[in-house]
Amino acid sequence: MIATIDTLHDMEASLKSAVIDLLYRLADDAIIIGHRGSEWTGFAPILEEDIAFSSMAQDDMGHAQTFYQMLFELGEPDPDTNVFARKLDQWTCAGMVSISSQRDWAMSLVRKYFYDVAASIRLDALAEGALVPLAQLARKLRSEKKYHLMHGTMWIPRLGTGTRESHQLMQSAVDTLYPHALGMFEPTSADLLLEQAGVCPREDELRKRWQAEVENVLCGATLKVDADMSPVFGGRAGKHPKDLMALLDDMQLVYNLDPHAKW
């Protein structure tokens, strides 16, 4: 039985820094996928999906904000500074969320689903974890993720089986994204400590759960996964696809006019 850690301030330095590392990964993934989702606002294939994507993007941004807030409580910069003033190599989001898919609905939908399954699995694990404040937060956030998962599990089969064209587009999105999706579970130096402290299982354990769930849905959608694909890593270590630089330039554009100004 692993002892629970009741407050953020009960951690010794090495565990604290591992938790900080974990929170940055959670927060960075969430804000970037939220940003990507919001790029569809006003452009989605049908109005209902325009609204759904905007609404899910807000949830993701909201989740990011609460993770950054927890980081702030741990002595890191405040949420706005973290998002609007951080440089490219300081980000630790997975490459999958950074890739631009602005005009590709299949890519956006599959990517969002891959992310949502990963996020839900992490939240489920954290909710059972030993770090009480994070477990409480995870329980709250995972209830909001349910709708996102439902959205994906409804749409992936629809478009996977809809028409020949939609099937092809979805298959090619899966083929492109799958290695990057596996990259969401890039091992980090924090993993072992987090596992030993009972905060969170190791990344490869989470990946197994993710693959089982995703492959089940893809199969139901007649979409295939090449079992030999190897993961694309780098994001967790600050090595990003070039699309992230463009995204940050966009995101920090107004902020950079005057970092001290209030808008």
Partner 1 sequence: MVIAIDPQLNKLSKEECERHLEVFEGRIARGDKVEPTDWMPEEYRHQLIRLIHVHANSEICGALPEGKWIPHAPSFKRKMALLAKVQDEVGHAQLLYRAAETLGASRQQMIEDLISGKSKFSNVFHYPAEIWTDVAIIAWLIDGAAIVNQTMMSDGSYGPYSRALKRICYEEAFHLKHGYEMVVTIAQGTKKQREMLQDSLDRWWPPIMMFHGPADKVSKHTTMLVQWGVKLKTNDEQRQQFLRQFVPKMLDLGLHIPDPNLRLDEKTGEWLYTEPDWDEFKRVINGGGPVSGDRVATRKLAHEEGRWVREALAAAATNQPVPMPTMTD
Positions that interact with partner 1 (CB under 8 A): 35, 38-39, 41-51, 54-55, 57-58, 61-62, 65, 79-80, 83-84, 103, 105, 120-121, 124, 149-150, 153, 157-159, 161-163, 165-166, 169, 213, 216-217, 220-221, 247, 250-251, 253-255, 257-258, 261-263
How many whole angstroms from its chain centre is CA 142? 13
CB of 233 to partner 1, least distance (A): 26
CB of 10 to partner 1, least distance (A): 28
Q: Which amino acid is at 132?
A: V
CB of 236 to partner 1, least distance (A): 23
Using H for helix, E for strand and C for coil, what is the string for the chain? CCCCECCHHHCCHHHHHHHHHHHHHHHHHHHHHHHHHHCCCCCCCCHHHHHHHHHHHHHHHHHHHHHHHHHHHCCCCCHHHHHHCCCHHHCCCCHHHHCCCCCCHHHHHHHHHHHHHHHHHHHHHHHCCCEHHHHHHHHHHHHHHHHHHHHHHHHHHHHHHCCHHHHHHHHHHHHHHHHHHHHHHCCCCCHHHHHHCCCCCCHHHHHHHHHHHHHHHHHHCCCCCCCCCCCCCCHHHCCCCHHHHHHHHHHCCCHHHCCCCCC
CB of 155 to partner 1, least distance (A): 9
The smaller minimum CB distance to partner 1, of residues 63 and 236, is found at 63
The smaller minimum CB distance to partner 1, of residues 195 and 213, is found at 213
The smaller minimum CB distance to partner 1, of residues 192 and 212, is found at 212
The smaller minimum CB distance to partner 1, of residues 178 and 233, is found at 178
CB of 205 to partner 1, least distance (A): 15
The smaller minimum CB distance to partner 1, of residues 6 and 73, is found at 73
CB of 91 to partner 1, least distance (A): 16
| Distance of alpha carbon 134 from alpha carbon 22, whole angstroms | 11
Partners of residue 5 on adjacent β-strands: 131
- Supply 74's token pair: 């741990």
The smaller minimum CB distance to partner 1, of residues 133 and 162, is found at 162
CB of 115 to partner 1, least distance (A): 16
The smaller minimum CB distance to partner 1, of residues 10 and 59, is found at 59
Q: Is 75 left (phi over 0), alpha (psi -120 to 50) or beta?
A: left
